[in-house]
Chains A and B, each alone.
Chain A
Amino acid sequence: QQQVKQSPQSLIVQKGGISIINCAYENTAFDYFPWYQQFPGKGPALLIAIRPDVSEKKEGRFTISFNKSAKQFSLHIMDSQPGDSATYFCAAKETNAGKSTFGDGTTLTVKP
């Protein structure tokens, strides 16, 4: 049973465009929703995260939108740059749980 579903699997965006990646979860006990960014040859690194008590969190060009009733959250990358080309993973975690449950990942390519 996949608890976090991520889409699309791959995404190609022109430089300056908006990249949008979506995730949906099933477990209502999840209360922390991070996004990880992974460059080729590197491990995932925390990019931005949100708790369900807010509907949006913005850090620079990166924004998480969260819809608790729909059990969905998304990552928006504004003014996408070639340097943003990477694989992005959404994840979800329960308080006091050790592991995060990850989505399948989205490979983002930003064309110059």
Chain B
Amino acid sequence: EAQVTQNPRYLITVTGKKLTVTCSQNMNHEYMSWYRQDPGLGLRQIYYSMNVEVTDKGDVPEGYKVSRKEKRNFPLILESPSPNQTSLYFCASSLFYGSYEQYFGPGTRLTVT
């Protein structure tokens, strides 16, 4: 089944404790991105990757890091999480950078206390 998977689905952590949210897609997509979803703010892009070893900032990159060492994986790293990063996070992938349709993962709900 073609899909985007994320782990963990739920995470509660404390301020300053480094964490990684994994994202993997099995569709051989070149383009992957991370969004955060907050009430009343819709989906805002954090980082994106056009291909292996090619990443760039989205609209709200502060406090986040990403890497793309393999085509299928695009982990999101929070090196020192803060309460304002409490949010619902989605990973998405597309066939290539200019593709119209995005495929979203199921989401990761992160709470930072």
Contact = CB atoms under 8 A, between A and B. Distances in A.
A102 B97 CA distance: 17
B104 interface: yes
Q: Interface on chain B toward A: helix, strand, loop, or mixed SS?
A: strand
A42 interface: yes
- Chain A contact-residue range equals 20 to 34
Contacts of B92: 43
A99 B92 CA distance: 10
A51 to B, nearest CB: 9
- Chain B contact-residue range equals 20 to 34
B23 to A, nearest CB: 11
Contact of B33 (A9, A32, A99, A104): A99
Contact of A99 (B4, B40, B41, B45): B45
B98 A44 contact: no
